[in-house]
A and B are shown apart, each in its own frame.
Chain A
Amino acid sequence: MLTVRHLTKSYRSAQEQVAVLRGVDLDVAAGESVALTGESGSGKSTLLHLIAGLDQADGGDITLENVVTTGLPDAARAALRRDRLGLVFQQFNLIPSLNVADNLAFQSRIAGRHDAVWQDELVERLGLAALLKRYPEQLSGGQQQRVAIGRALASKPLLLLADEPTGNLDEETADSVLSLARDLVARTGCGFLMVTHSARLAATLDRQVQLHAGLIR
């Protein structure tokens, strides 16, 4: 479903060019959950951002369901994120002006794929029924991340991308949130690529891929 080939990306830092990704190859199959690990600065987040179309690669290809996404213009990459991807970040990144119910339905509604039954199921599975009228700042970190996962999955994406989704949570909450995410991913049959520092959490997914010095090891 997701194929990454020879992906390169570098940044200009002060006076020098820093190569972050130096020819990355990666595959994620539908229904498969993959943990992307590596030390700080190894390029994990950069790889995730390139797959999400948040940034543009210098070279190589990313193919999602037979569609090459590298080189797509800004608007097409935005449509890709809206219609086919679900994104979860470490900082939760909910919309502060909307309450939990509106945050949950936001992406599925703008993608035109809102499914009330599926949303109700998400609310129930994520334990958010009592929190629907609350605003993000009134929630704990774990609650916010559950909302973020719900929002990302509400539109039934092809691929769920998560960047350190449990980085701001304690171990117990992290386990519970990730367990929920894994269950829901299995329920939708979408692919799941998660960046994490934690070997323990990485071990709970189907496969682990390690990124070292800009290359998959």
Chain B
Amino acid sequence: MLLSHWRRHPMQLATLLVGLIAATALWSGVQALNQQARASYDRAAATFGGARTAMLVGRDRAAVSQDLFVDLRRAGWPVSPMLEGRVPIGGRTIRLLGIEPVTLPVEASATAEVGKGGVQAFITPPGQTLISPETLADLGLMEGATPAIGDALKLPPLRVQPQLVQGVLVVDIGIAQTLLKMPGQISRLLIGKANGPRAPLEQVTGNQLRQVEPDAETDLERLTDSFHLNLTAFGLLSFVVGLFIVNSAIGLGFEQRLPMLRTLRACGVSARLLNTVLLVELVSIAVVAGLIGLVCGYFIAASLLPDVAASLRGLYGATIPGQLTPKPEWWLAGLAISVLGALAAATSSLLKAVRLPLLAAAQPYAWQQAQSRWLTLQGALAAIVLTGAAGVLLLGDSLIAGFVVLAALLIGAALALPVILGLVLALGERSTRRPLTKWFWADSRLQLSGLSLALMALLLALAVNVGVGTMVESFSRTFTGWLDGRLAAEIYLNASSEQQAVEIKRWLKPRPEVKAVLPGSRTDVQLSGLPVEVLGFADHATYRQQWPLLEATSDAWDRVRSGDAAFISEQLSRRLKLGVGDRLEVPALSGNWQLQIVGIYADYGNPKGQLGVNIDALVNRFPAISQTRMGLRVQPADVPALIAAIQQQFGLDGRNLADQATVKAESLRIFNRTFAVTAALNAFTLGVAGVALLTSLLTLSNSRLPQLAPLWAIGITRRRLAGIELLKTLSVALITALLALPLGLAVAWCLIAVVNVKAFGWRLPFNVFPLQLIQLLGVAMLASLLAALLPIVKLLRMQPAKLVKVFADER
């Protein structure tokens, strides 16, 4: 009997399902992406002794003698040696791991994999290089190839290992020692879990080694936490907006079934039975919608995965595979969230059902008094939440605090929205004596309680859109300007060897179109446990004029040229809490390099911290550094001919020789992909808010006939009534959208000044883009128009007989 309601109101059932499906799909989709990425980090951490394995390392993390391995094994330590370094392949450097498969701990997960191909084949000449399919594709190589790594050295034949993490090559440790020119040396010793009598570490190795315990959370996880928190926040927002639709559909269904519920109660059905049946009905619908939502969520996640992978690679250098493999618990969690969401959205209706009196009572208060009490309470709540946000903003100093401020700001503003709308509408009502205009404002106020959830959803979706849009646009503008500064040379090339680099420079010297050759070089070091890139550049007007310095001393460039000063990237300066004038020590082969910081520069999107130093000073301190990179200043018109000539003369391909425009386009492509996920989630959220508005308006339109029919009877045509109804919806939507603009800018400021700084280490200049705001306002109004159109068309096409029914006593 209760189910017959849905048969008679299929649109209502569809709305309920759409709300639950949208909420579950967006939430589960985002969770699938997070789960996929986390599984990938875990794999990276667990494979071949990552952060999940206990290990012994040198006191300053430098390489140690292989003899220590022998000593420790003899002393009962279940250790396995590992050597790590980087090798150049095709103009890139790739991480090379040397392992000893026989002693490798089982929990480091490699033995079984190596075992499949045979340990014998792995360790006996020519050996094997294990490589992930993604890395093989990135390098453009085939399985079985033996790529050269310079100085007449070659890697053993490549062998694809599907479970291997990206960006890593694995060889036998003996081969690695040869390839890395580190004979008899090891980087660390992995400790197996085998328990047995063992001598104390100091007794065996003195103070040469220290034990590092496994991390519960890897560096990558810590770094990417903000990204996943961001995704989760979006998922949660979409989920909440979806629940607004569910709440509105369930509320309407309940109101329409009230007489039936009363009749059933009057016929002797117990309240307990009735409530149980309502609950079972709701849970059944939630399970069905949850299953459909999960399938949709899977497809959403699968479609977003390439962009998420690009974002994570671009922002943090993290690699996640392109194949989505959700775990069983993801399906269960999705179903649970659908059921819990439905129950949360139905709470007020279910409570009403529990307390349902058998007889309908008269309204004790006028709608205005009831609304006034509701708005006062909501206003007080909004004030408390917003005060809380201000407090956390002033006192908090973490990424979580940043997100708390954002959440509190959005919730506080959403709670305040009906209060502000109520005030504006009351003001409008008071300002006129014209009957229809007065009714316009008064009736909008009357509708406020029914529309407020949908308008809150619209406010949240719009504000987040404005906030994220402003941040992305700020980033885009800043990034473009920054690229112009960082990519000042017209051509970038990377010679295949130092000898070729020398030949190229000699060949370029007499060419009149080449205005300058700007050599560049870089090396990796560790500062306070953080991986840092030291970038060497020439002292040239190009850099002096265009380097994106945020802050510097007046003699900064002269100081850098002298070799005892450096520029520091913004994120590294924040991480190390170093400013202009501070000093730092860079570990170099000839001892620590004392550098004074004379400037801070923007280095957006780089997961690593960076130091900029004079190239001659860098080569002095790191004589073994590769000097194959250079930038060429050339008249733009001469670029294509010069590139063709270099290609012909030296055989460099597109990966090692590129013009500025290509590099910029590639950087911008990566940048755009980085924010594609945000844009997609933004669009989803706005879409769901639009559907929430549509369902609320449809819900209201069903109950508005008794309010509109008297006006029609008094002599206002359906066309005019429809026009007024449309204008009313658009008016409240416009007020909401106008309020969303400053809120969105506050969100943008919070993202730029608080969240980004904590998450990435850099702060963007805050800009307002009026055109973007106008565009979004237009989109909001269009969404509202589309949402309002269906109920309006229904009203326009309504037969007089249906309106007359309102007055008929035989209803």
Q: Which residues of A contact B (CB under 8 A)?
A: 11, 40-41, 45, 49, 52, 54-56, 74-75, 78-83, 87, 89-91, 93-98, 102, 105-107, 109-111, 134-135, 137-138, 151, 163-164, 167
Q: Within the assembled complex, what's the spacing in Å between the Cα atoms of A13 and B270?
A: 37
Shortest CB-to-CB span from B708 to chain A, Å, is 10
Counting from the closest, the 5 A-B pairs by CB-CB distance are A82-B715, A97-B442, A97-B446, A109-B435, A81-B715
Taking a contact as CB atoms under 8 Å apart, the answer to whether B806 and A93 are in contact is yes
Q: Which of A54, A79, A96, A98 contacts B713 (CB 8 A)?
A: A54
Chain B's closest residue to A92 (CB) is: B710
Chain B's closest residue to A110 (CB) is: B435
Taking a contact as CB atoms under 8 Å apart, the answer to whether A80 and B710 are in contact is no
A-chain residues with CB within 8 Å of residue B435 when the two chains form the complex: 102, 105-106, 109-110
State whether the Cβ of B564 lies closer than 8 Å to any Cβ in chain A: no
Binary A-proximity of B357-397 (CB < 8 A = 1, otherwise 0): 00000010111100000000000000000000000000000
Shortest CB-to-CB span from B311 to chain A, Å, is 49
Taking a contact as CB atoms under 8 Å apart, the answer to whether A97 and B714 are in contact is no
Q: Within the assembled complex, what's the spacing in Å between the Cα atoms of A79 and B716?
A: 8
Chain B's closest residue to A48 (CB) is: B807
Q: Within the assembled complex, what's the spacing in Å between the Cα atoms of A23 and B194?
A: 104
Taking a contact as CB atoms under 8 Å apart, the answer to whether B438 and A102 are in contact is yes
Chain B's closest residue to A75 (CB) is: B717
Q: Within the assembled complex, what's the spacing in Å between the Cα atoms of A106 and B363?
A: 24
Taking a contact as CB atoms under 8 Å apart, the answer to whether B439 and A164 are in contact is no
A-chain residues with CB within 8 Å of residue B438 when the two chains form the complex: 98, 102
State whether the Cβ of B640 lies closer than 8 Å to any Cβ in chain A: no
Question: How many residues from B make CB contacts under 8 Å with A?
Answer: 36
B-chain residues with CB within 8 Å of residue A102 when the two chains form the complex: 435, 438-439, 442
Shortest CB-to-CB span from A163 to chain B, Å, is 6
Q: Within the assembled complex, what's the spacing in Å between the Cα atoms of A52 and B810?
A: 18
State whether the Cβ of B543 lies closer than 8 Å to any Cβ in chain A: no
Chain A's closest residue to B710 (CB) is: A93
B-chain residues with CB within 8 Å of residue A105 when the two chains form the complex: 435
Task: Name, among A87, A95, A107, A109, the residue most crowded by chain B CB atoms within 10 Å (CB to CB).
Answer: A95
23 interchain pairs, CB-CB under 8 A: A11-B801, A45-B807, A45-B808, A54-B800, A79-B715, A89-B713, A90-B809, A91-B809, A93-B706, A93-B709, A93-B710, A94-B710, A95-B711, A97-B442, A97-B445, A102-B442, A109-B434, A110-B716, A135-B366, A135-B367, A137-B366, A138-B366, A151-B714
Binary A-proximity of B709-728 (CB < 8 A = 1, otherwise 0): 11111111111000000000
Taking a contact as CB atoms under 8 Å apart, the answer to whether A80 and B715 are in contact is yes
Taking a contact as CB atoms under 8 Å apart, the answer to whether A78 and B712 are in contact is yes
Taking a contact as CB atoms under 8 Å apart, the answer to whether A56 and B439 are in contact is no
A-chain residues with CB within 8 Å of residue B809 when the two chains form the complex: 45, 90-91, 163-164, 167
Chain B's closest residue to A41 (CB) is: B810
B-chain residues with CB within 8 Å of residue A167 when the two chains form the complex: 809
Given A74-B718, A90-B809, answer yes or no on A81-B713 (Cβ-Cβ < 8 Å).
Answer: yes
Binary A-proximity of B691-717 (CB < 8 A = 1, otherwise 0): 000000000000000110111111111
Shortest CB-to-CB span from A144 to chain B, Å, is 12
Additional A-B contacts beyond A95-B443, A106-B435, A106-B439 (14; CB < 8 A): A54-B800, A54-B804, A74-B718, A81-B715, A87-B713, A91-B807, A91-B809, A95-B711, A96-B707, A97-B446, A98-B439, A109-B435, A110-B436, A137-B363
Q: Within the assembled complex, what's the spacing in Å between the Cα atoms of A109 and B436?
A: 9
Given A110-B435, A137-B366, answer yes or no on A56-B800 (Cβ-Cβ < 8 Å).
Answer: yes
Shortest CB-to-CB span from B427 to chain A, Å, is 16
Chain A's closest residue to B811 (CB) is: A91
Chain A's closest residue to B446 (CB) is: A97
Given A45-B808, A54-B800, A164-B809, answer yes or no on A107-B446 (Cβ-Cβ < 8 Å).
Answer: no
**Considering the complex, which residues of chain B in the window 586-618 have a beta carbon less than 8 Å from any beta carbon of chain A?**
none
**Considering the complex, which residues of chain B in the window 764-811 have a beta carbon less than 8 Å from any beta carbon of chain A?**
800-801, 803-804, 806-810
Shortest CB-to-CB span from B33 to chain A, Å, is 47
B-chain residues with CB within 8 Å of residue A90 when the two chains form the complex: 807, 809
Q: Which of A45, A55, A106, A137 contacts B714 (CB 8 A)?
A: A106
**Considering the complex, which residues of chain B in the window 35-68 have a beta carbon less than 8 Å from any beta carbon of chain A?**
none
Taking a contact as CB atoms under 8 Å apart, the answer to whether B804 and A55 are in contact is yes
Taking a contact as CB atoms under 8 Å apart, the answer to whether B715 and A110 are in contact is yes
Task: Name, among A40, A41, A89, A167, the residue most crowded by chain B CB atoms within 10 Å (CB to CB).
Answer: A89
A-chain residues with CB within 8 Å of residue B711 when the two chains form the complex: 95
Taking a contact as CB atoms under 8 Å apart, the answer to whether B446 and A96 are in contact is yes
Shortest CB-to-CB span from B15 to chain A, Å, is 25
Binary A-proximity of B416-450 (CB < 8 A = 1, otherwise 0): 00000000000000000011101100110110000
Chain B's closest residue to A73 (CB) is: B717
A-chain residues with CB within 8 Å of residue B712 when the two chains form the complex: 78
Q: Within the assembled complex, what's the spacing in Å between the Cα atoms of A97 and B367?
A: 8
Shortest CB-to-CB span from B296 to chain A, Å, is 40
Taking a contact as CB atoms under 8 Å apart, the answer to whether A78 and B800 are in contact is no
Given A54-B804, A97-B443, A98-B438, answer yes or no on A137-B367 (Cβ-Cβ < 8 Å).
Answer: yes
Shortest CB-to-CB span from A151 to chain B, Å, is 8
Q: Within the assembled complex, what's the spacing in Å between the Cα atoms of A96 and B366?
A: 9
Taking a contact as CB atoms under 8 Å apart, the answer to whether B714 and A107 are in contact is yes
A-chain residues with CB within 8 Å of residue B810 when the two chains form the complex: 40-41, 45
B-chain residues with CB within 8 Å of residue A137 when the two chains form the complex: 363, 366-367
B-chain residues with CB within 8 Å of residue A135 when the two chains form the complex: 366-368
**Considering the complex, which residues of chain B in the window 323-369 have a beta carbon less than 8 Å from any beta carbon of chain A?**
363, 365-368
A-chain residues with CB within 8 Å of residue B710 when the two chains form the complex: 93-95
A-chain residues with CB within 8 Å of residue B715 when the two chains form the complex: 78-83, 107, 110-111
Taking a contact as CB atoms under 8 Å apart, the answer to whether A95 and B439 are in contact is yes
Taking a contact as CB atoms under 8 Å apart, the answer to whether A96 and B367 are in contact is yes
Q: Within the assembled complex, what's the spacing in Å between the Cα atoms of A54 and B804?
A: 7
Q: Within the assembled complex, what's the spacing in Å between the Cα atoms of A80 and B717?
A: 11
Shortest CB-to-CB span from B341 to chain A, Å, is 33
Q: Within the assembled complex, what's the spacing in Å between the Cα atoms of A81 and B807?
A: 15
A-chain residues with CB within 8 Å of residue B717 when the two chains form the complex: 74-75, 78
A-chain residues with CB within 8 Å of residue B365 when the two chains form the complex: 138
Q: Within the assembled complex, what's the spacing in Å between the Cα atoms of A154 and B117?
A: 98
Given A54-B800, A95-B707, A163-B809, answer yes or no on A82-B714 (Cβ-Cβ < 8 Å).
Answer: yes
Shortest CB-to-CB span from B428 to chain A, Å, is 13
Shortest CB-to-CB span from B58 to chain A, Å, is 79
Q: Within the assembled complex, what's the spacing in Å between the Cα atoms of A22 and B365?
A: 47
Chain B's closest residue to A89 (CB) is: B807
Q: Within the assembled complex, what's the spacing in Å between the Cα atoms of A156 and B459?
A: 47
